[in-house]
Amino acid sequence: MGIAFALYGGFFDGMEARIRLFLQWVAMALGAASVFGPGRLFLSNAIASLRSRVPHMDLPITLALLAAIVGGFVSTLRGGGGVYAESVTMLVMLLLAGRFVQFRSQSRARHEVELLATLVPGVARRVRRGDGARPARGAAELDAPAWDEVPVESLVAGDLVLVPTGDAACADGVLRGAPNSIDMQALTGESRPVELRDGERVWAGCRPLRSPMLIEVTAAGAATRAGQLMALVDAALARRARVVEFANRIAGWFLLAVVALAALTVALWWSEGPAVAIEHAVALLVVTCPCALGLATPLTMVASIAKAARAGILIKGGDLIERLAVPGTIVLDKTGTLTEGRMRMVEIDGDESALAWAAALERSSTHPIARAIVRAQAERSATRSAERGPRASAIDRLEPEHAEVAGAAVESIQEHLGLGVRGDVDGVAVAVGRLEFVAREAAPSWERRARGLAERGLTPAAVSIDGRVRALLGVGDPIRADAAPTVRELRRRGWRVILASGDDAAIVRSCAEAIGVPPHDAFGECSPERKAELVRRCDWPRPLLMVGDGVNDVVAMASADAGISLGSGTRASLEVGDVCLARDGIGALPPLLRGAARSMRVVHANFSIGLVYNLVGAALAIGGWMNPLIAAILMPLSGLMVTAIAVRGPRFSNDARAPASSGGPDPHPSLAPEAVP
């Protein structure tokens, strides 16, 4: 560029002609090297576009680059002063920079093996057949020498596998031996554990909560339900069509218009001589180079992705912004997305001192409801310890979880599957569980209060002391504070909000009522396959977004127009998700959708600027008021202008104003529940 600027500035005046000509050829060689070297990407794309007969914006870009290079060579051969090499080099640099960051933003690694590895372990504890282990034996009775660690791939149907408490099952099978409480949340999204008995089905990825689990293998590896889910994910990702960029959609028409105008220019100026006509046509081709149109989309998208990342929103590709810019339908998972994702004691109905007795009895249990009761008592102990200040005992300060229950003597513990637990706490008979289990004859008022808790989506755990019901503990998965305001904001902006969960239908309806989702848009007891069916519905407004955080959401996320995962989600959901929200909850959804809409407005504004620039430049070139030298100088200006606008970019932050209320009619017509496929 230094040679070209010196030439245009008159610094070559008085220089020996052969040296000046040599420097011009050097500039032209450098310009040609930039086109046929780094710029060969555009040449190859243009050739591929011609072969496939599919228009691409690289076609008119290549035409302008070649016109500038040919015009420069012709000018140099004729002894003229215009070489145009610096404009060509600058344009190639800008286009390559935009293309590079665009490709970087769209690169994604989704491998079935990696996703499957997040669901199930790679090794299994296979029970030795020679040790006399039989399916009828309880898993807890198996000692260490009774099993060997083997790769999951080596398992065959009929093998017995030992799964430690809290670990994920490595294969599909049937439960053998003692009953167990199973966490099915990874596959079904159900927040409460399922009580299974000998002979009932167990899926890979499920976790035993009460004791080690013995399963008889029926399928392993890709043949498991988890493996089939991952295959569905890959199939959905392969079917998803790549969004065609706005620039490429108009590339064909733009190329035809430029070629037609160039032919018109040659025809209008032919009477002045072929050299003059070709000079004006070259000026037209150079000044109408669609560099602004080619840069408008990638640079704006990259700037938007960078600003979104600073706001804690990871967008994995610029094409996703186009899908998020127009209101459509959002399908929300419940457990872990709208709720906190773990059981908590929400309220106590009755004698509050009963909590300490219940926590003492449940402190060694791994059941989620038991852990929620123990945590609630630990929080109370910690609060009291803080209120007492430095006089608090060491156990209050260091071990608040056991501050009031660690010293209690618990004996004669009896667990009853699906009912509750009994035991003696410091010699006092205590029972926790279902109302009919803890007391043979409970007062009707307790039954009404238990039904009231259940209707609000809570699990009522009754506590009896010496045979008398003392309290009902309402345990559930609390709804996040940002859920209801976010749903109101989304509906106010025209989005239809759907709630789909694997949890119990009554719990899902209760959650929907709490956050403002109509009952007909709340679907409970949804398997992963069922969620995928919902997001593939063609009668809901598009685009359709799926928001989730669990493995049971990945098929639906891959089947949707865009999948959105939470930062607290599983590795599988983070990999499949097109957008990842760093914060827990859905509070970042409105800023994401507003930012996407603003990004598309910037893209359209940049396109308008580029089109106006090209129209004005074409008129000047056709009228003879612009020669190739001026055209080459002006060619990068539109690209620089678009770059400046794109760098400023949109914001992905919360608006200062508070979201409006969702009062008034639903912006989308309701669908009857029975219409769901």
Residues 349 and 470 in one domain: yes
Q: Per this entry, what is the length of the chain?
A: 677
Which H or E run contains 318?
Answer: helix 318-324
Q: Which of 267-276, 283-292, 342-351, 648-657 has the lowest mean pLDDT?
A: 648-657
Residue 518 has pLDDT above 90, yes or no: yes
pLDDT of 401: 40
129 assigned to some structural domain: yes
User: Does residue 98 sit in helix, strand or coil?
Assistant: helix
The yes-or-no verdict on residue 488 having pLDDT over 90 is yes
Residue 494, pLDDT above cutoff 90: yes
pLDDT band for position 665 (50/70/90)?
very low
Locate the DSSP E strands across 576-670.
Answer: 579-581
If asked whether residues 438 and 467 sit together in one domain, one would say: yes
Q: Are residues 421 and 442 in the same domain?
A: yes
Asked whether residue 435 carries a pLDDT value surpassing 60, the answer given is yes
Residue 561 has pLDDT above 50, yes or no: yes
Per-residue model confidence (pLDDT) at position 495: 95
Number of CB atoms found within 10 A of residue 354's CB: 21
| Segment 565-575, tens digit of pLDDT | 886 655 566 66
> CA torsion 464→465→470→475, rounded to 10°?
-50
Distance CA 262, CA 279 (A): 10
The rounded percent of the chain whose pLDDT value lies above 70 is: 73
Identify which has the larger pLDDT, 201 or 100. 201
Residue 565 inside a domain? The answer is: yes
Same domain, 450 and 350: yes
Q: Same domain, yes or no, for 335 and 483?
A: yes
* Range with top average pLDDT, 400-414, 591-605, 643-657: 591-605
Q: What does the pLDDT read at residue 33?
A: 85
Predicted pLDDT at 355? 92
Which has the closest alpha carbon to 311: 543, 550, 649?
Answer: 649
Q: Write out the H or E segment, with its range, that includes residue 412.
A: strand 410-416
Per-residue pLDDT for 161 more than 70? yes
In a domain, 156, yes or no: yes
Q: Which of 45-54, 93-102, 103-112, 383-392 has the highest mean pLDDT?
A: 45-54
Does the pLDDT of residue 295 top 50, yes or no? yes
Indicate if the pLDDT at residue 164 is higher than 80. yes
- Map tokens 């108009």 to a residue: 250
Q: Is the pLDDT of residue 248 over 70?
A: no
Least confident of 234-238, 360-364, 427-431, 630-634: 234-238
Residue 337 has pLDDT above 80, yes or no: yes
pLDDT score of 319 more than 90 = no
**Both 453 and 435 in a single domain?**
yes
Give the pLDDT of residue 612: 85
Q: Which residues pair with 460 in a beta bridge?
A: 474
474 vs 671, higher pLDDT: 474
Note the pLDDT of residue 496: 95
Q: What is the pLDDT of residue 461?
A: 93
pLDDT of 387 strictly over 60: yes
pLDDT at 666: 42
Mean of the pLDDT values across residues 473-488?
Answer: 91
Mean pLDDT over residues 41-48, rounded?
82
User: Tens digits of per-residue pLDDT, 87-137?
Assistant: 677 667 766 766 665 555 444 433 433 444 556 778 888 888 755 444 444
Q: State yes or no: pLDDT of 287 exceeds 60.
A: yes
Chosen domain end from 569, 596, 623:
596
Residue, of 432 and 417, whose pLDDT is higher: 432
Task: Please write the tens of the pLDDT for every residue from 342-368.
Answer: 888 989 999 988 999 999 998 888 788
**pLDDT at residue 469 in the model:** 92
* 303 found inside a domain: no
525 and 567 assigned to the same domain: yes
Q: How confident is the model at residue 4 (pLDDT cuts 50, 70, 90)?
A: low
Give the C-alpha separation, 331 to 544, whole Å. Answer: 7
Whether residue 364 is found in the same domain as residue 454: yes
Cα–Cα distance, 23 to 18 (Å, whole number): 9
pLDDT at site 591: 92
- Spatial distance between the Cα atoms of 559 and 565, rounded to a whole number of angstroms: 14
* Percent over 90 (pLDDT), the chain: 14
pTM of the complete model beyond 0.85: no
Of 226, 205, 222, which is closest to residue 554 (Cα–Cα)? 226
**How sure is the predictor about 473, in pLDDT bands with cuts at 50, 70 and 90?**
very high
Residue 24: pLDDT band (50, 70, 90) is: confident
Confidence (pLDDT) at 332: 94
Q: Residue 469's CB: how many other CB atoms inside 10 A? A: 23
Lowest mean pLDDT among 222-226, 338-342, 443-447, 451-455: 222-226
> Does residue 241 lie in a domain region?
no
The C-alpha atoms of residue 523 and residue 190 are separated, in whole angstroms, by 13
pLDDT band per the 50, 70, 90 thresholds, residue 30:
confident
The residue out of 421, 450, 476 marking a domain boundary is: 476
Q: Is residue 417 part of a domain?
A: yes
Residue 632 has what pLDDT? Answer: 65
**Which position has the higher pLDDT, 31 or 294?**
31
Phi, psi of 541 (to 5 degrees): -60, 140
Could you count the other beta carbons within 10 Å of the beta carbon of residue 440? Answer: 8
In whole angstroms, give the CA distance from residue 569 to residue 335.
Answer: 11
Q: Are residues 350 and 322 in the same domain?
A: no
**CATH code (residue 591):** 3.40.50.1000
Confidence bin at 433 (pLDDT 50/70/90):
very high
**626 and 265 in contact (C-beta within 8 Å)?**
no
Q: Determine contact, residues 164/144, Cβ cutoff 8 Å.
A: no
584 and 571: one domain? yes
158 pLDDT more than 50: yes
The helix or strand, by DSSP H or E, that contains position 499, with its residue range, turns out to be strand 496-500
pLDDT at 422: 92
591-603: pLDDT as tens digits: 999 999 998 888 8
CA separation for the pair 363, 346 (Å, rounded): 18
Q: What is the layout of strands, in order, in the sheet containing 544-548?
A: 313-315, 579-581, 562-566, 544-548, 329-332, 496-500, 522-523
User: Within 145-273, where are the H helices?
Assistant: 185-188, 225-239, 246-249, 251-269
Domain boundary among 198, 223, 248: 223
The pLDDT value recorded for residue 675 is 33
Q: What is the CATH number of the domain that holds 410?
A: 3.40.1110.10
Q: How many domains does the chain have?
A: 3
Q: The domain spanning residue 145 has which CATH number? A: 2.70.150.10
Do 485 and 500 share a domain, yes or no? yes
Q: Is residue 441 part of a domain?
A: yes
Higher pLDDT, 18 or 392: 18
CA nearest neighbour of 480 among 376, 344, 367, 370: 344
pLDDT higher than threshold 90 for residue 60: no
Taking 90 as the threshold, does the pLDDT of residue 643 lie above it? no
Q: Spell out a b/e string for 324-342, using b for 16 or more CB atoms within 10 Å of the CB, else e.
A: bbebbbbbbbbbbbbbbbe
Identify whether 372 is part of a domain: yes
Could you give the CA distance from residue 557 to residue 189 in angstroms, rounded to a whole number? 14
pLDDT score for 635: 67
Average pLDDT, the chain: 76
Mean pLDDT of 130-153: 58
Question: What is the biggest distance separating any 2 CA atoms in the chain, rounded to whole angstroms?
Answer: 115
Show the domain range for 586: 313-340+479-596
Task: Give the list of residues 6+ apart from residue 382 with CB closer than 8 angstroms, or none.
Answer: 396, 400, 403
Minimum mean pLDDT among 32-36, 52-56, 116-120, 322-326: which range? 116-120
Same domain flag for 447 and 492: no
